[in-house]
Chains A and B, each alone.
Chain A
């Protein structure tokens, strides 16, 4: 390994450390915020499952399969063992 490679590696580690030091402090907060935004997104997509009218229902049909996984994660995270919405029995 030449000194150039060493230097590049050293620089990369330093960069990772800086990112970690900066983001790490906020990571928990960021994750929580993402989770909350995601929950709201799910609610907006599955509104008619809660009997609220949604003008875009037709156009959401094609994204349902992608959201099922997210929905499952959501109710587990909420501490609900099985799907709380009868029409959405994901597990």
Chain B
């Protein structure tokens, strides 16, 4: 089965264990989609970016057009955090007195050191790309970091949402008691800038959730190779993705040996591979599977990517 069914999806994640070929598959898919006339953005969220290498060019943290209808960028969490913090500081500078600005900046600088901030900043950039500018691309393809990191990232919106929602409820309760009967609920809430800011954030996270849990718009493609450890990790990833509400739309079994070769080494490898392929079939019975054969040479550059594309999309 091929990946044609998900070509028209708005968001396609590619993920799996380290070294299985996530970058190769996501890049080949993005290339295939763009060649079919879709406007595609390929986004790497793996801190160890490989998309630049595979396209034999420098991509970097800003969107860059690589080919007609195919753009790419590599998100750097640390850089996004610095950018976000600078943006907040600029806003505060415009709105408050120098005394408040000085104190607020000190607090912001301290908070900016907290661990995990760059991950949230990375997520925030992803939200921008998914929910913010729906019209500039037909499809956003994510080349994600290895499984654990990515699952953590995809669970984050719910954790942050819950937190912000708790703050919103709290703030509302305070406002309601405080304002008493003089003002209506809406008026009192509308006048509070803290509540307004929190609710804006909550709305954005909700919008992200709506898009990524809509199986007609978002899908996650798992990439694996026929090896024991990889199969185990892929099975866990499939289960955990189920819990996040993101649909798993396919499983790519990458680097399968070609048929009809000779030699003892090849025969032994091929026999073992057959066992694993059967196991994959048994463990993922409902997932559409795509077999990608190992090529005689490494995959890099457009021409060899096209060879993989042809195996992913008919």
Interface residues of A (CB under 8 A from B): 19, 23, 30, 33-34, 37-38, 40-41, 44-46, 48-49, 53-68, 87-90
- Chain B's interface size range is 35 or more
Instruction: List B160-198 residues whose CB lies under 8 Å from chain A.
Output: 160, 163-164, 166-167, 170-171, 173-174, 177-178, 180-181, 193-194, 197-198
Whether A60 contacts B173 by the Cβ 8 Å rule is no
Instruction: Given the known inter-chain contacts A38-B174, A53-B115, A68-B103, please indicate yes or no for A63 contacting B110, CB distance below 8 A.
Output: no
Instruction: Given the known inter-chain contacts A23-B180, A65-B95, A68-B100, please indicate yes or no for A37 contacting B194, CB distance below 8 A.
Output: no
Instruction: Given the known inter-chain contacts A48-B114, A55-B156, A87-B107, please indicate yes or no for A41 contacting B181, CB distance below 8 A.
Output: no
Name the contact of A54 in the complex, choosing from B95, B106, B114, B173 (C-beta under 8 A).
Answer: B114
Whether B194 contacts A67 by the Cβ 8 Å rule is yes
List the 7 shortest-distance A-B pairs measured between CB atoms, nearest first: A65-B104, A87-B110, A58-B120, A56-B163, A59-B201, A48-B114, A61-B88
Chain A residue with minimal CB distance to B104? A65
Chain A residue with minimal CB distance to B177? A34
Flag whether B292 is at the interface (Cβ < 8 A): no
If over half of B's interface residues share one DSSP class (helix, strand or loop), that class is named, otherwise mixed; here it is helix
Write out the residue numbers on chain A whose beta carbons fall within 8 Å of the beta carbon of B111.
Answer: 48-49, 57, 60-61, 64
Flag whether B117 is at the interface (Cβ < 8 A): yes
Instruction: List B76-134 residues whose CB lies under 8 Å from chain A.
Output: 81, 84-85, 88, 91-92, 95-96, 100-101, 103-104, 106-108, 110-112, 114-117, 120-121, 124
